[in-house]
Structure 1
Amino acid sequence: MTKNSTRRRGTTAVSALVTLLVLAGCGGGRGGDDSETAGMAADAVAPAQEGAAAVPGEAVAPDRAQGEVAAPGRAQGEAGAATDTRVDQRAIIYTGSIRVQVDDVDAAARDATAAATRVGGFVGGDQRSSSDADAVAELELRVPADRFHPVVEELAGLGRQERREIGTQDVTEETIDLDARITSQRARVESGRRLLAQANSISDLVSIENELARREADLASLEAKKRRLGDLTALSTITVTLVGPGVTTAVEEENQIGFLVGLDGGWKVFLASMTILLTALGAVLPWLLVLGVPLGAVWWLSRRRHRSRDPLPELVAPADTPPPSVSAPPPVPGARSAP
């Protein structure tokens, strides 16, 4: 076999490998096909390496193709071993919400912040509305997971606890699945990089670069999800609401019924309506002053000018008419006339 025929065989094998690589990219989003795709790529690499080894002056590592196949197998073996997780090693996300009534909201907020920072946590959010007895402060505390329950108990001791809600979410299986997918995706990225080094034409180079970029993007997305889960499991979230003594609790609001309660609610609605009305009037008043006054003056002047132009009706004296004459009554037959 000549040197040129050997090179042609190697080029044909690499072209076939690129075709398989592009076809595999269509189903790269499915986690279950990663191992099969990597195995197909490894099978295609072997003939290319054998053909390249036949060329004088070129050496090929004998275990490269075996490494292609072994990587997905190791990923599956590690995933199976990680499934056997003890209870104290499970990945659990803790979230809590607590409402406490205190005498001094600002002082209690400082104590809550100190309780979080003392165990290695921090304040993720702080919203306050201060009005003496009606003051309210809402803090979002991030504390280590192993100090979650002690911090909640410490927050409950700041005053009179009104409400407490604690929730957990077990993400162990999701974490294990992400680990397996990340391991498999890293193997696919390394396989793509090796194939990129063996490309012999521009078209093969472009196709492999596009596939490698897609694989690296998928790997970065999986690693970002893993970091997010790690942050949620390492640091738990506690939302604490501190209210002053003048703030009505939810239970008291549900139990308040009667005429006075209705009157108070109606008065509040009336004040709110008047506030809205005055706000709208204040918004319209500048327009009335700027546009309404000049327009009103122009209308008044036009009306006055129109009246001055109308002629007054002339007074005509009535014609002189003679007084009506009184006619004598007709004579009555048989009556005698006066002398």
Structure 2
Amino acid sequence: MGSVRRRRALTALAAGGLVAALALAGCGSNDDAGSTASAPMSDAGGNGADAQKAAEGAPQAPQEQAQAQGGAGGVELAVDQRQIIYTGSITIRVENVERTAAEVTSMATGAGGFVGGDKRTDDGGRSEAVLTLRVPASRFTAMVDDIADKGTDDRRSISTEDVTEDVVDLDARITTQQARVASARRLLAQAKTINDLVTLENELGKREADLASLEGKKRRLDDLTALSTITVTLLGPDAQAPAPPKSDDTGFLAGLRGGWHAFTATVGVMLTVLGALVPWLVLAGLGLLVFGYVRRLRRGRPAVALAGPGLPAARVAPPTVPTQPAPADEPAREEKA
């Protein structure tokens, strides 16, 4: 009995050792497979990073770039990050137009701007001056208030235009167009025939022209957003204030008023032309009356030949009376007789 129990114990130990050995072998194979599988994943991850870098370096579409820079569908930009065009006009009445114009000019140049236009009329108390100032956008509001303090503020108008989306769209289009120009240049360098060379040169010229146009629009927007425009009108004490700008009315009533003004203007022009033609028409009518009267006198008077001195009087032939031709049977009657 003791020997049988000992054999069973040895058999159980042997089976346990075999199971442990098999388990260790399975774990080793799984580790090898895991390490083998992890290598391609790391390679794939590396390739993915390279692909992502390449994609980041590639030009983005306009919509994607707009979202990346906070356009429609993206994160809203703060007010100081948006591209806004400020435009203002102010009319003030001052005691001395020339002195105030010089002060306003110094204010604009001191703020980092410049004078884009200067029109002045020196007429004593009726003097006027119109200045067009370009000042930094950050100084726009303060500059308008400082100018208003120089005299009596008669009229003020301020308008803004948000061009953030236009700027984002232009930036994206410029990036895309630059990539297209670079691609055309690479293809041009690889051209092998004359036809390919001419075709690629024409295409490159078109792409460069489009790129130059986009860059010009971008520079224009950058200028308008960087420097705001202020139109300052200075009036003397006795100068007449300019008429307010007319509102841009639309609709049926606006069209009716415009049509009536055009009709009255046309009638006025026609009456003016008619008044200029009346003297000529009267003169022409008098000429026709005189010509008709003279013609009737010539028809009613008999034709008389005047004899000159030393010449016999011309004889006037009597009027001839037309006679009827003889009938056709007259010769036959004469033969019978």
The answer to whether 1:126 aligns with 2:113 is no
- Aligned ranges for residues 21-36 of structure 1 at < 5 Å? none
Match of 1:34 in 2: none
Contact 2:61–2:172 under 8 Å retained in 1: no
> Which residue number corresponds to residue 225 of structure 2?
233
Q: 1:78 aligns with which of 65, 90, 97?
A: 65
Report what 1:245 is aligned to.
Answer: 237
CA contact (8 A) 2:65 2:168 kept: no
Q: 1:166 to 1:197 in 2, by over 3 A?
A: same
Q: Structure 2: how far apart are the matches of 1:134 and 1:70? A: 63
Distance 1:201 1:70, change over 3 A: farther
Q: How many Å separate the matches in 1 of 2:63 and 2:96?
A: 57
Whether 1:185 and 2:177 are equivalent positions in the alignment is yes
Q: CA deviation at 1:102?
A: 0.3
Matched with 2:209 is 217
Find the residue that maps to 1:246 and give its secondary structure: coil
With normalisation by structure 1, the TM-score equals 0.52
The alpha carbon displacement at 1:73 in A equals 3.8
Preserved CA contact (<8 Å) 1:121 1:144: yes
Structure 1 residue 69 displacement after superposition: 11
Identify the residue that residue 159 of structure 1 maps to in structure 2.
151
Shift of 1:108: 0.5
The unaligned stretches of length 5 or more in structure 1 are 1-62, 252-339
Alpha-carbon distance in structure 1 between the residues aligned to 2:141 and 2:236: 24
Structure 1 contact 192–208 (Cα < 8 Å) conserved: yes
**Residues 255-270 of structure 1: pairs in structure 2 closer than 5 A:** none
Change (3 A) 1:209 1:184: same
> Could you tell me how far apart the structure 2 residues matched to 1:250 and 1:126 are?
17
2:89 touches 2:231 (CA, 8 Å); kept in 1?
yes
C-alpha contact (below 8 Å) 2:112/2:135 kept by paired residues: yes
Residue 135 of structure 2 aligns with which residue? 143
Give the deviation of 1:78 after TM superposition: 3.2
Question: TM-score, normalized by length of structure 2?
Answer: 0.53
CA separation in 1, counterparts of 2:56 and 2:177?
13
1:300-339 alignment, distance < 5 Å: none
- Provide, for residues 25-77 of structure 1, a one-character-per-residue CA deviation record: whole Å limited to 9, x for no partner: xxxxxxxxxxxxxxxxxxxxxxxxxxxxxxxxxxxxxx9xx979962447664
Contact 2:90–2:233 (8 Å) recurs in 1: yes
Equivalent pair of 2:89/2:230 in contact (CA under 8 Å): yes
Change (3 A) 1:70 1:142: closer
Q: Distance in 2 between matches of 1:189 and 1:201?
A: 20
Tell me by how many angstroms 1:229 deviates.
Answer: 0.3
Distance 2:232 2:107 in 1: 12
Counterparts of 1:12-91 in structure 2 under 5 Å? 71-73=58-60, 77-82=64-69, 83=71, 84=75, 85-91=77-83
1:87 positional shift: 2.2
The percent of aligned pairs where both chains have the same amino acid is 57
Structure 2: segments with no counterpart, 5+ residues: 1-49, 244-337
**Shift of residue 199 of structure 1?**
1.2
Between the two proteins, the alignment pairs up a number of residues equal to 188
User: SS of the residue aligned with 1:111?
Assistant: helix
For residues 55 and 113 of structure 2, what CA distance do their matches in structure 1 show?
A: 44
- Aligned residue for 1:200, secondary structure, equals coil
- Match among 197, 211, 218 for residue 189 of structure 2: 197
* 3-state SS of paired residue (1:173): helix
The structure number with the bigger radius of gyration is 2
CA distance in structure 2 between the aligned counterparts of 1:197 and 1:249, rounded to whole angstroms: 65
Q: 1:142 to 1:168 in 2, by over 3 A?
A: same
Q: Alpha-carbon deviation of 1:250? A: 5.9
Q: Aligned Cα RMSD in Å?
A: 2.4
CA contact (8 A) 2:83 2:167 kept: yes
User: Which residue type is aligned with residue 154 of structure 2?
Assistant: E
Q: Counterpart of 2:216 in structure 1: which amino acid?
A: A
CA distance in structure 1 between the partners assigned to 2:60 and 2:86 by the alignment: 34
> How many angstroms apart in 1 are the aligned matches of 2:57 and 2:202?
25
How far does residue 91 in structure 1 lie from its aligned partner after superposition?
A: 0.5
| Partners of 1:201 and 1:113 in 2: CA distance | 62
1:79 Cα offset (Å): 3.3
